[in-house]
Structure 1
Amino acid sequence: MSAAATPSGPDLAAGIPLSDLPEGESIRGHVGRKAVLLAHTPTGFHAVGAKCPHYGAPLDEGLIVGDTLRCPWHHACFELRGGEALAAPALDDLPCWRTEVVDDRVFVREALDDRPPRRPARSPSSVVIVGGGAAGEAAAETLRREGYTGPVTILSEDPAPPCDRPNLSKDYLAGKAKAEWIPLRGDDFYARHDITLRLDTAVTAIEPEASRVRLADGGTLDYGALLLATGAEPIRLAIPGAASPRVHYLRSLADSERIIAAVEAGARRAVVVGASFIGLEVAASLRQRGLEVRVVAPEARPLARVMGDVLGDFVRILHESKGVTFHLGRTVSSITDQAVELDDGTRLDTDLVVVGIGVRPRTALAEAAGLDVEDGILVDAALETRVPGIHAAGDAARWPDPVSGERVRIEHWVVAQRQGQRAARHMLGVEDARPAVPFFWSEHYGIGISYVGHAPGWERIETDGDPAARDFTARFIAGDRTLAVATIFRDRESLEAEAEMETRAATRPG
């Protein structure tokens, strides 16, 4: 590697004055050719890798809260004293270096490679995870990170290994992400960590009294602890022509690849049914591939039910500026071989239809097993159902939100990953004290919207800045409480809002 490749910033091995780094601040520098972040927290000075292992975000632009460091892009959380990845979407620890204070300077010394092994407080005879999505994969990894040595089995109906699902409607569909970036882990990861990954495997029944699951191939599998991470499935159109092979839904890697194959086979016109986040991300990706794109939705403003009128109008105008045509206040009445027919008689000629009108939680297994189900599998704060030893996490779980105080079900990737982590830790007797504040991001033509909290309704929205200038905050408020905060290119403010909600939830009565 050439000298020109040496990271920027001060040489931290040569030390910096203590006065250059007040408590609560960090500085990016290097040790040799390694980019290192030096942080000053209430417990001292800590040196960790300077890039988030999720998507490579610069961690010096993040936020220090106590002894934790938050990623500016997607809110991964790391423990600074040892670099441990505490909260998804990052699943890998940060590298660490030893620090030393000599007189009035702090120095970063040698890398610290060894972390002491962990020993769980309790250890189930085995753990079976039903579902190979965000929650299931994160749970399996967390079990091993927490020192669990018993059998771990993921049963997934998907023929593909766990993948980076948010990318399927974004860069991968747009043709900007390589296929090898999509699997969350390489082929040998599960074998190296002694995780049995059984793909294309369906579970047909849960037998709680016998602590056993039944499989579609006639086999059974016993468990000491069970995690239901069954996710959700797309809501299907129920109109004439909806079964046409030109109609697509996007949930899996195979779904995304089928849409890409249709484009590569010559599709030039697309109709997206539904102005949901996934529908609009698909619209943006197909426009970037050069297709003519029309979006049909019954609402007057896209995303206004979640984001309010100002952001809803911004998203519409942004898409229109890129060539997307909206048919708002309209529904699809039928689909023919060449066109989509709308309820007002409008005919939209198209080669490709993608439907994004919402999802339903997959709860049939839980309901048949006698678990409590009400728009999701009901769980407590530790993600455990009323049957001890059976947990549920992700899109299928309905859980008590510490911010709003309501029981909610939230269909976000990061929420699912963090719930998988929380459930795994609880199985091992490790209580996760950090309040679970929901977070998600959506991206349209390179413009990201970050959203923390949960606001199914609000009394008012306080805004600051201008979304068209790529500098904006919206606060969704009920009474004197901020329920959620949406930002555009205000990463620090988004992180501060999340930390504030965590503090409020931690001190909430009951």
Structure 2
Amino acid sequence: MSADKTPGGPDLAAGIELNALAEGEMITGHVGKKAVLLARSGGDFHAVGARCTHYGAPLGDGLIVDDTLRCPWHHACFSLRSGEALAAPALDGLACWKTEVVGDRVIVRERAEPGPKRHPARSPSSVVIVGGGAAGEAAAEMLRREGYTGPVTIVSDDAAPPCDRPNLSKDYLAGKAKAAWLPLRGDDFYAQHDITLRLTTEVAAIEPEASRLRLADGETLDYGALLLATGAEPVRLPVPGAELPHVHTLRSQADSEALIAAVEAGARRAVVVGASFIGLEVAASLRERGLEVRVVAPEARPLERVLGETLGDFIRELHESKGVVFHLEERVASITADMVELEGGQRLDADLVVVGIGVRPRTALAEAAGLAVDDGVWVSDTLETSMPGIYAAGDSARWPDPISGERVRIEHWTVAQRQGQRAARNILGAGDARAAVPFFWSQHYDIGINYVGHATHWERIETDGDPAAHDFTARFIAEDRLLAVATIFRDRESLEAEAEMEARQRAGQ
């Protein structure tokens, strides 16, 4: 859309008839050259920006839940009353407009002023965040949004600032996204918000009795409250040759850039070890760059453990239709400079190997400090660890999930962001014990799969539609309880499933 083109839909400055919008409905129009969404909720009219601030999705295709507006693509949540971004992956709010009822018409004329500044119930002397990933970055932002004025420091052992990690295996690796799109914030954001970002900085130990961190260079850093957002690290392949320079994992921006460099240096035959989400997204991206790609995995069907048979078969057929060759029910025996040997004896030519066989939580700091650890740092429903004043969020945290009734650790980007936001609010005394419904999306070529909920096991899967027609829903059920829903191009149904799970959570069911 060119900068001087007026968006479509009705001119909301001229107004629309009141009966044109029923309760719970919305319409996208414009005020001057600004696209504006007008919604009716709770008997009131609300007007906000019409595009999601995450990836620009049209919010008119989303869902109204109470006084919130949900993005159809990646489930960001905004307040209809203020435009505030209430839940990630969107971090910025929407523009908010004043509405006025004149006679039998509702009119949108001018921008609303921001709401009053907030004042936290509790203000620790300082907050230190260990980890510059999804949870850590979102927590730092939320501390400032909630009105905290004390020192905020992010300590990250990464050389790159917090980035859009889901893009690393998707559009960026495929060559369709620019490097400039990766940072979550511009260089000046952290200075403007008085957030100290210490990159390439390793924490050697937590000293809880002194409320202090000891850094690898010997420096110490005091904290009033501490958030551990240390994330996870890729599992390494325990076979001869796994440490060769052409064998890669993908977790950081540097990892993705190393893969791109290998392709640009002439790699043409890739073997992806592991039919995980990350492995298959890498396979798709490398195919889009023209490489020959083979996938080696021990299971009989890719992603069956997470998505079931029907979707597993579809994903395999989709990748095969793009030229990917699968070697299933196979394991890698060894790797040489130009070959991957399988346990079954087959040898696959390879000048690039990518290992995507899972991750393990980074819990060494927490364990050494005496925190409760068992496949992740154990946290309460407010994300506080076994030591008061120390919180954990993201891939390294293991938390009580009200949907499944189990203690879980979920390695999803949006889950980590939302936990970081909730941990920040709780550090400031909010006492928020409401876990967000887990959500993730996975991209394979031009097909996106949305998944809400969490199902480690199920008794049955109810399906509707045809994945090959790119129109499909799978509902994972145990004991007549809906645990998760996976959809292909059924954005509204995915949002409705999330809202259903939220309502059930609130009701304690």
**What's 1:304 paired with?**
304
**What's 1:402 paired with?**
402
**What's 2:288 paired with?**
288
Report deviation, 1:151.
0.1
List per-residue Cα deviations over 1:354-377 (Å, max 9, x = no partner): 000000000000000000001100
* Matched ranges for 1:144-223 at <5 A: 144-223=144-223
Q: Does 1:132 align with 2:132?
A: yes
1:481 counterpart letter in structure 2: R
SS in structure 1 opposite 2:262? helix
**What's 1:460 paired with?**
460
**What's 1:347 paired with?**
347
Q: Does 1:108 align with 2:131?
A: no
**What's 2:67 paired with?**
67
Q: In the alignment, is the contact (CA less than 8 A) between 1:43 and 1:67 conserved in 2?
A: no
Structure 1 unpaired stretches of 5+: none
SS in structure 1 opposite 2:53? coil
Query: Judging changes above 3 Å, is the alpha-carbon distance between structure 1 residues 272 and 503 closer, same or farther for their aligned structure 2 residues?
Result: same
- Deviating above 3 A after TM superposition, structure 1's stretches of 4 or more consecutive aligned residues are 1-4, 431-435
Report deviation, 1:76.
0.4
**What's 1:232 paired with?**
232
Q: In the alignment, is the contact (CA less than 8 A) between 2:121 and 2:429 conserved in 1?
A: yes
Of 106-115 and 89-98, deviating more is 106-115
Report deviation, 1:115.
2.5
Q: In the alignment, is the contact (CA less than 8 A) between 2:28 and 2:37 conserved in 1?
A: yes
Q: In the alignment, is the contact (CA less than 8 A) between 2:52 and 2:90 conserved in 1?
A: yes
**Separation of aligned partners in 2, 1:114 and 1:250:** 40
Q: Does 1:503 align with 2:503?
A: yes
**Separation of aligned partners in 1, 2:323 and 2:12:** 49
Report deviation, 1:432.
3.4
Q: In the alignment, is the contact (CA less than 8 A) between 2:226 and 2:389 conserved in 1?
A: yes
- Structure-1-length-normalised TM-score: 0.99
Query: Judging changes above 3 Å, is the alpha-carbon distance between structure 1 residues 2 and 178 closer, same or farther for their aligned structure 2 residues?
Result: closer
Q: In the alignment, is the contact (CA less than 8 A) between 2:381 and 2:434 conserved in 1?
A: no
Q: In the alignment, is the contact (CA less than 8 A) between 2:213 and 2:220 conserved in 1?
A: yes
SS in structure 2 opposite 1:204? strand
Report deviation, 1:478.
0.2
2:83 counterpart letter in structure 1: G
**What's 1:123 paired with?**
123
1:125 counterpart letter in structure 2: S
Number of residues of Structure 1 aligned to a counterpart in Structure 2: 509
Report deviation, 1:436.
1.3
**Separation of aligned partners in 1, 2:460 and 2:385:** 35
Query: Judging changes above 3 Å, is the alpha-carbon distance between structure 1 residues 332 and 223 closer, same or farther for their aligned structure 2 residues?
Result: same
2:458 counterpart letter in structure 1: W
**Separation of aligned partners in 2, 1:21 and 1:60:** 13
> Cα RMSD between the aligned structures?
1.1
Q: In the alignment, is the contact (CA less than 8 A) between 2:381 and 2:433 conserved in 1?
A: no
SS in structure 2 opposite 1:307? helix
Q: In the alignment, is the contact (CA less than 8 A) between 1:434 and 1:502 conserved in 2?
A: no
SS in structure 1 opposite 2:395? helix
**Separation of aligned partners in 2, 1:2 and 1:335:** 51
SS in structure 2 opposite 1:108? strand
List per-residue Cα deviations over 1:432-488 (Å, max 9, x = no partner): 365411000000011100000000000000000000000000000001101000000
**Separation of aligned partners in 2, 1:431 and 1:43:** 30
Of 398-407 and 491-500, deviating more is 398-407
**What's 2:421 paired with?**
421
**Separation of aligned partners in 2, 1:60 and 1:51:** 8
Q: In the alignment, is the contact (CA less than 8 A) between 1:204 and 1:216 conserved in 2?
A: yes
SS in structure 2 opposite 1:13? coil
**What's 2:37 paired with?**
37
SS in structure 2 opposite 1:48? strand
SS in structure 2 opposite 1:5? coil
Of 9-18 and 431-440, deviating more is 431-440
1:70 counterpart letter in structure 2: R
- Structure-2-length-normalised TM-score: 0.99
Report deviation, 1:420.
0.1
Q: In the alignment, is the contact (CA less than 8 A) between 2:272 and 2:355 conserved in 1?
A: yes
**Separation of aligned partners in 1, 2:2 and 2:59:** 24
Structure 2 unpaired stretches of 5+: none
Report deviation, 1:404.
1.1
Report deviation, 1:336.
0.7
Q: In the alignment, is the contact (CA less than 8 A) between 2:79 and 2:86 conserved in 1?
A: yes
**Separation of aligned partners in 1, 2:75 and 2:382:** 21
Query: Judging changes above 3 Å, is the alpha-carbon distance between structure 1 residues 233 and 211 closer, same or farther for their aligned structure 2 residues?
Result: same
Report deviation, 1:2.
7.4
1:319 counterpart letter in structure 2: H
Report deviation, 1:386.
1.7
1:216 counterpart letter in structure 2: A
Query: Judging changes above 3 Å, is the alpha-carbon distance between structure 1 residues 424 and 126 closer, same or farther for their aligned structure 2 residues?
Result: same
**Separation of aligned partners in 2, 1:222 and 1:77:** 35
SS in structure 2 opposite 1:218? coil
